[in-house]
Amino acid sequence: MTPPDGAPLALIQSGKVRELYDAGEDRLLLVASDRISAFDVIMDEAIPDKGRVLTAMTAYWLEELCDLAPNHLISADPAEFPEGAAALPGGLEALAGRTMLVRRADMLDIECIVRGYLAGSAYREYEREGTVHGMAMPAGLRRADRLPEPIFTPSTKAAEGHDLNIGMAEATDLVGSEAAAAAAELCLAAYSRAAARAEEHGIVICDTKFELGFIDGALSLCDEVLTPDSSRFWPADDCAPGANPPSFDKQPLRDWLEDQPWDKQSPPPQLPGEIVAATSARYVNAYERVCGRRLRDWYGA
């Protein structure tokens, strides 16, 4: 339903870092804010350009992967947003660069994760069990080693708390065998394409999380795609096996918070200006290095 003339779009959901609005005609307006969370707590300070980076990177990858699957993106051009968008706080100027007009999708009730390298929880599991996501791996792998081949490791979508790793049997129970198999095939193909593209720019994609849904009966890429918030990007020239490579994400923020006398509960400590600036620069650098484009050429500059 389209809002009356002059009325703002109706807010459907406000999450940690995004707002979702009803844009009418089975469309949504997805707005990525500059809010940032760490340890499941939203910081009081915004990170300049973070929302633009997430949106610009998603648009880039949807373009790069469009031959593999449909996607939900209609437009990121503010001139093509519905009339009620201009009545939202800040108007079109505030939305520019951080907003996508998208199609509604019947979302899969699983998180679709692909891992290409040994890191994070996968590395900790391998150290204990010699497996990743319950799958046996060769002996002698080190942290940050490339896996023999990329693997699909789904998880639940937890309404509260953390997602739980599940196998293909559990994924099949949740979404059906056909959808689970199609999700694995699509995500592995998308990861392989993206990893090859990123390597051309000196970037390793360690792992990533995809959100998939059905649009007009077709399994489609939705939400964020291959951003620093949904992926682990490493600089290829600083990615030695056995070490923990630096990531193009909010690591400077996490590192600073770990050094504070804070119990990781709200309210968070006040972020120094240099941590805000370093985190912003990390996001912008991720976009420009991974995508080979300049953020100042994207909407909202």
Residues facing 231 on adjacent strands: 208
CATH topology of domain 1-104: Phosphorylase Kinase; domain 1 (3.30.200)
Given a cut of 80, is residue 37 above it in pLDDT?
A: yes
Q: pLDDT tens digits for 129-155?
A: 999 999 999 999 999 999 999 999 999
Cβ-Cβ contacts under 8 Å for 36 (sequence gap 6 or more): 17, 42, 43, 45, 46, 47, 50, 250, 253, 279
Q: How large is the C-alpha radius of gyration of the chain?
A: 19
Residue 275 is predicted with a pLDDT of: 94
Residues 230, 208 contacting (CB under 8 angstroms): yes
Q: pLDDT tens digits for 42-84?
A: 999 999 999 999 999 999 999 999 999 999 999 999 999 999 9
| Paired tokens of 104 | 């509604």
Asked if the 107-238 domain carries CATH number 3.30.470.20, the reply is yes
Domain coordinates in residue numbering, the chain = 1-104, 107-238
- Cα 186 to Cα 61, 113, 148, 176, distances in angstroms: 14, 11, 19, 16
Reported confidence tier of residue 252, pLDDT bands at 50, 70, 90: confident
